[in-house]
Amino acid sequence: MKTYFHYPKIRLYSLWLLLALGMTACIDDLNTKPIDKNITTADDAYKDPAAYKQVLAKIYAVFALSGQVGPDGNPDLATNDEGSSNYLRQLWNMQELTTDEAICAWNNAGLPDLHNQSWSAANDYITITYDRIFYQISIANEYLRATTDSKLDSRGVTGDLRTQIGYYRAEARLIRDLAYYQALDLYGNVPFVEEKDGVGTFNPQQISRKDLFTWLENDLIEIIPQLKDPHTNEYGRADQALAWTILAKLYLNAEVYTGTPRYTDAITYCNKIIPHYQPDDNYQHLFMADNHTAKGIIFPIAFDGQHTQTYGGTTFLIFAAIGGDSIVPQNYGVNSGWAGNRTTAEFMAKFDPGDRRAQFFTKGQTSIEVNQQSDFKQGVIVTKFSNMKSTGGTGSNLSFVDTDFPMYRIADIYLMYAEAILRGGTGGDLNTALGYINDLRYRAYGDNSGQISASQLTLDFILEERARELYWEGHRRTDLIRFKRFSETNYTWPWKGGVIGGRSTNSNYNLFPIPSSDLGANPNLKQNPGY
């Protein structure tokens, strides 16, 4: 049985209200007592000391679950399809379906537009992702409002519980910062609300991407001493390493976000992380049902087939990648497939024959080339994620998987360090970078046959190696934008721009639009250029 930070099925009044608040406005009814006796107020809930950790668990659970009961039936957000509204599922869509790593066979309205790079501000998938991010921010803010020193004093909270709540608050801020980082990366200039803004009727102001970068940087640095050291928290909970990782990500992409490179700062934070982690000896173990025992995962989104049931998350990644005439779902620990996501022959070609990271299945496919997006039997099936255990056997449930999602892991940090060195950052050296890359490639090949020399360690190589090491882990869009190969003419892939051979697209697609629904609700918001 997996031991991890448990995501409870809770519905506190303070969180329930957020469903009705919208993403940009609050209402005056926040102080109203509920008529329904089954709804618990925040004041009542926090009479139970366990509630502080339970509500913290809800903040984490937003990444994994789409509602209160799972897999559907009591959603956090109003939507036509609760399962598809899952935070991690939609973040994956934004980061992967828009790139060369994934293409979906489903014809749901707005979904093909992601891979074609032809979306608009009315795209439902872009809106759902945005709403999820700001719901996460909202409940984190509410938790911080409910756990101030004055609130704790009024409830007589002292001793060890008070100490633990200090850690809880730092983690809530950190998870809010992670959500704001994703908002910054995906949407750029977004509405901004902190816990100190309180509640009431108002439309949040829009913060610029550059100013949000600065706010995030300062907030992350401020909370680091308040977080637990690496490896000292419960599995599934955040610690200092996650804060360092977000900072390293911010700095590596700083030139995109602010116009000013910060590669030395990226190296500084990579150096903080690296001594605490090492890659797992078995690459496949990182994506299996018992990957909670794998080395090298900095921050996972935890899933459990019995307790964390969702049609998003890693259940989505595994089921949606299985289909066709020849693949056997049971070989991957599940009972069926949804025939949705796969990749292209062009992407598979990035891997050498000896590279064991190439987890692909082509038997029975009518073509490995995708000549028709809606035909799952065209293309390359990706079997990277599995509900099988590294020790043999399957996860606990064939319908909902045990496999955790490794949002950040040490291999990514190795690659970031090497890239920042190549881009001129100081505080490290090329030989160390080369050693990190060759460590990853030794694992990939099982011997020295994949080793590279210093002259081969170039930025182009890093981009390709990031694809080989990190595909389907939610990094590719950000990487391509940083390398100026997302919308540009210098790099195309099948169906980019909506044509079979691929073409360049408009640079405005480097940012997603602010959803039309939020623009209509909040006059303080200005749309991103080009939409």
Q: Which two tokens stand for residue 403?
A: 């496999």
User: Taking 60 as the threshold, does the pLDDT of residue 158 lie above it?
Assistant: yes
Q: Examine residue 353 and state whether it is found in any structural domain, yes or no.
A: no
How far lies 51's CA from each of 38, 48, 57, 420, in Å? 16, 6, 10, 43
Cβ pair 15, 61 in contact under 8 A = no
Instruction: Specify if 221 maps to a domain.
Output: yes
Look over the chain and give the mean of its residue pLDDT values, rounded to a whole number: 93
- 183 lies in a domain? yes
Question: Domain residues for 175?
Answer: 13-227+512-521
Number of structural domains the chain divides into: 1
pLDDT given at position 80: 80
The model carries a pTM of: 0.94
Question: Would you place residue 25 in the very low, low, confident or very high pLDDT band (cuts 50, 70, 90)?
Answer: very low
For range 68-97, the mean pLDDT: 91
Asked whether residue 38 carries a pLDDT value surpassing 80, the answer given is: no
Under 8 Å between Cβ of 325 and 364? yes
pLDDT, residue 4, reads: 60
- Point out the least confidently predicted range of 78-82, 132-136, 336-340: 78-82
Share of the chain above pLDDT 70, in %: 92
155 is a domain residue: yes
The conformation of residue 361, written as its DSSP 8-state character, comes to E
Residue, of 207 and 35, whose pLDDT is higher: 207
Per-residue model confidence (pLDDT) at position 199: 78
pLDDT band at 145 (very low <50, low <70, confident <90, very high): very high
Question: Does residue 147 lie in a domain region?
Answer: yes
Q: Residue 30's pLDDT is what?
A: 29
Query: Residue 423 domain-assigned?
Result: no
* pLDDT tier at 95, thresholds 50, 70, 90: very high
Residue 133, pLDDT > 70, answer yes
What is the predicted pLDDT for the residue at 72?
87
In a domain, 489, yes or no: no
User: Nearest-5° angle of CA 69, CA 71, CA 77?
Assistant: 70
Least confident of 36-45, 253-262, 306-315, 380-389: 36-45
Q: What CATH number is associated with residue 122?
A: 1.25.40.390
Whole-number pLDDT of residue 415 = 99
In DSSP terms, which residues pair with 341 in a beta bridge?
104
Rounded to 10 deg, the angle between the 13-21 and 124-146 helix axes is 140
> In the predicted model, what is the mean pLDDT of residues 294-304?
98
What would the mean pLDDT of 66-78 be, rounded to a whole number? 88
Residue 479: strand, helix, or coil: helix
The reply to whether 124 falls in a domain is: yes
Residue 226 — very low, low, confident or very high, per pLDDT cuts 50/70/90?
very high
